[in-house]
């Protein structure tokens, strides 16, 4: 589904150029459950940003569903993000002024769907993550685990081909972290959603079917 070839990404730091990714190649298949591991500064966040179409590589090719996407316009990238990728962040990143329901529905509003079309989909999705009774709460009125469930519902609402989770359990205690992981595993198993989890926690990585390590901008091993 995703085919990364020789991805190089470097940043200009004043005079010096710092290369963060040195020609990374990676395939992500449909229905994959992949963990990307690495210490902080290893380039895993950059890799995630590139996979998530938030950033462009300096060189190399990125095929998504067989289409070269590293050269697309911003508008097209925004649309692709909206339709094919669901983000889950460590800090949840819900909009504080919107209710759980409004947060979950947000991706669909960018598809020009009407509120009437959106509402039943959102309620069904909240129900699935066990948050239906909190639909009208704002993020500040929810616990960390509950916020992450809402965030996952937001990632799933657009039926994305790929869920991209950046340290999704990093800000949660073990028990709620396990519950969130359980949600991802179920999604992958029951709905064939492709899930990529970026983590530095080996316990999380162990639960994934496939795990790659990244260090200093290179993939060390692709332990299938």
Partner 1 sequence: MTVIKQHFQQALANIRSSKLRSFLAMLGILVGTAAVVALISIGELATHKALQQFKALGTDLLAISLFQTSTTTKNTSDAKVFSLPEANLMSDTIPTIKAIAPYISLYGNINYETHKINGSIAGVVAELQPVIKIKLSKGRFISPLDRASYYCVVGHDIAQDMKRFSYKSIVGNQILLGNTYFTVVGVAEKWQENTFFNQNVNRLVMIPILTSKVIRKNAQIHNIIMRIKPNINITHLTNDIKAFVSLHSPFLQVFPRSAKQIIESMKQSSQIFTLLLGFIGGISLLVGGIGVMNVMIASVAERHREIGIRMAIGANRKDIQLLFLTESIILALLGGILGVILGISTSLIISYFVGWGYKIFWIPPIIGFGVSAATGVFFGYYPAYRASRLDPIQTLRYD
> Which chain residues interact with partner 1 by CB under 8 A?
45, 49, 52, 54-55, 74-75, 78-79, 81-83, 87, 89, 93-95, 97-98, 106-107, 109-115, 154, 158
What is the smallest separation between the CB atom of 113 and partner 1, expressed in angstroms? 6
What pairs with residue 12 in β-bridges?
A: 17
Return d(Cα 110, Cα 134) in angstroms, integer. Answer: 23
Q: 139, 150 in Cβ contact below 8 A?
A: yes
What is the smallest separation between the CB atom of 178 and partner 1, expressed in angstroms? 26
Q: 108, 118 in Cβ contact below 8 A?
A: yes
What is the smallest separation between the CB atom of 68 and partner 1, expressed in angstroms? 20
**Cβ-based nearer residue to partner 1, 156 or 211:** 156
What is the smallest separation between the CB atom of 87 and partner 1, expressed in angstroms? 5
Structure token digits, residue 118: 């959106």
Tally of helices (H runs) and strands (E runs) in the chain: 7, 10
Taking alpha carbons only, the member of 164, 144, 159 closest to residue 2 is 164
Return d(Cα 126, Cα 116) in angstroms, integer. Answer: 16
Q: Can you say how many angstroms the Cα of residue 222 is from the centroid of all Cα atoms in its chain?
A: 20
**Cβ-based nearer residue to partner 1, 71 or 114:** 114
What is the smallest separation between the CB atom of 221 and partner 1, expressed in angstroms? 27
**Cβ-based nearer residue to partner 1, 16 or 75:** 75
What angle is formed at CA 95 by the lines to CA 54 and CA 158, rounded to 5 degrees? 60
Burial of 132 per CB tally in 10 Å (0-12, 13-18, 19+):
middle
Q: Are strands 33-37 and 194-199 parallel, antiparallel or unpaired?
A: parallel
**Cβ-based nearer residue to partner 1, 49 or 176:** 49
What is the smallest separation between the CB atom of 70 and partner 1, expressed in angstroms? 15
**Cβ-based nearer residue to partner 1, 198 or 211:** 198
What pairs with residue 64 in β-bridges?
A: 2, 67
**Cβ-based nearer residue to partner 1, 90 or 215:** 90
């Amino acid at each position: 589904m995703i085919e990364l070839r020789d991805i190089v990404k470097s940043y200009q730091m004043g005079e010096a150029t710092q290369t963060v990714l040195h020609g990374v190649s990676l395939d992500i298949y449909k229905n994959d459950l992949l963990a990307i591991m690495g210490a902080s500064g290893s380039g895993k966040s950059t890799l995630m940003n590139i996979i998530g179409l938030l950033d462009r590589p300096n060189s190399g090719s990125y095929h998504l569903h067989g289409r070269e996407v590293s050269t697309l316009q911003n508008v097209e990238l925004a649309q692709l993000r909206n339709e094919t990728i669901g983000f889950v962040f460590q800090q949840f990143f819900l909009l504080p002024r919107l209710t759980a329901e409004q947060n979950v529905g947000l991706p669909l509003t960018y598809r020009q769907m009407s509120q009437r079309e959106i509402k039943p989909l959102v309620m069904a999705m909240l129900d699935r993550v066990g948050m239906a009774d909190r639909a009208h709460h704002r993020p500040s009125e929810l616990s960390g685990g509950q916020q992450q469930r809402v965030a996952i519902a937001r990632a799933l609402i657009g039926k994305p081909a790929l869920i991209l989770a950046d340290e999704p359990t990093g800000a949660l205690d073990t028990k709620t972290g396990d519950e969130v992981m359980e949600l991802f595993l179920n999604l992958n198993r029951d709905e064939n959603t492709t899930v990529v989890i970026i983590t530095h926690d080996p316990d999380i990585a162990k639960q994934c079917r496939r795990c790659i390590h990244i260090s200093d901008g290179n993939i060390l091993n692709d332990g299938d």
